[in-house]
Structure 1
Amino acid sequence: MPIRALTTFEDPIAKDVVQLGNIKFWEFAAFLETPSGKLLEFSTRRNSYGADPSMDITSRTAPADRVVIHHNHLSQESLSFADWHGLTVFAKETFAHCADGTVYWGKVADEAAVTAKINNRGTAEIEATNLLFQILQAEIGGPDDAAIAFFFRKEVINRAMKIRTWVEYEFAWGTYPAPPPSSSGNGTQTWFAGKRGKAICSLMDQAAARLAPLL
């Protein structure tokens, strides 16, 4: 299933968070009342790994008041547990946009299950990395397999949570010739998400299918 189309209101906002991120190397986030408006807040914390909202946004916990988020991921990695946490508290859906045009999108379908996983995430990222690494080694056997498996660990987790029907999750690989920053906020080497993701998409599905029963 493709990511839902952006509204005419959302589209320029999504472009803005990416463009500003490319200029400043910070994460930016826009918080919308609905996909068609209004824009409630546009923020940055002047760092590369998060753009936390104000209390005006985090206090919108009632289902009818939850927001739509558009933010940039400088790392080009998929949705994180922090993104999913927001979706259990104050957000109804979130988009993470990357410089190469890659987009990750999510909604929570089973709030109790996702909250439990967030609170007890334990070795999920390690398991996802190891499973994808094993598959890459068997299918490709390249020198970058370990780094690629680590980079796409969140993607594997998100696909596994979708298999468990805990979340609605979709992605679209980018094709723009826009190289990522040399490193993410935690110093981890990044990859051209769209190009590499498209090349190993079916292998990530295999890893997610193996991970899902372990979550």
Structure 2
Amino acid sequence: MSTDDGSETVTNGGADEGDDDRPTPEIGVGDGREKHLRVVTQSGKEIDHDEVYIRHTESEYLVSADPEFPAVETTRYRKADLHRAEITQHHSNCFITTAAAGEGPTLDSLRGFRADVLAPTAGGRALLRTYETVSPPIAATLDRHPEAASTGAVRWLVDRCGALADRRRAIGSNPARAALSVLLIALYVGGVGLAALAHGWLRATELR
């Protein structure tokens, strides 16, 4: 089934009667790792896919939450219909969280918040782009000083944010979820600021 955004979702995993001569769609190639995909269509529409697997063919991107790419759960984007496609690994865009808290439940919780709240909105995507621009050197410094008090302060705040993200996801009330979303965004910005201060302090101690 084709859509006006240039994608095609296969909704029938088997061949219909009389379709025996229909060519089998290419399955493409991929590395088997979860990624984030943002596609921008020729009309300017932005579509985000988080925690998905991606395969490439010469003419298409195949996107699925299932690494086996079952036909009924696979979206196919024609490359000719896209203005651009941005593909990132999860670990590559959670720099400060990974440096402070490591891989684990906190990182997964904050990834979910990014996907649910920040990535779908233009303002959220702008915030994420800023974060991804400024945070790599900050994260590298924190990673070199895991036992420093300033790194510990960042870790504490990251853990609190992860707990709030879990609480937000579990709440059924929309007003309460919205309030926690606003609080988490504020803490997100504050956390980057705190990490930047920690980075500056630790770099100063390194250069003494």
TM-score by structure 1 length?
0.23
More helix by share: 2
Between 1 and 2, higher relative CO (CA 8 Å, sep ≥ 6) is seen in: 1
Higher Cα Rg: structure 1 or 2?
A: 2
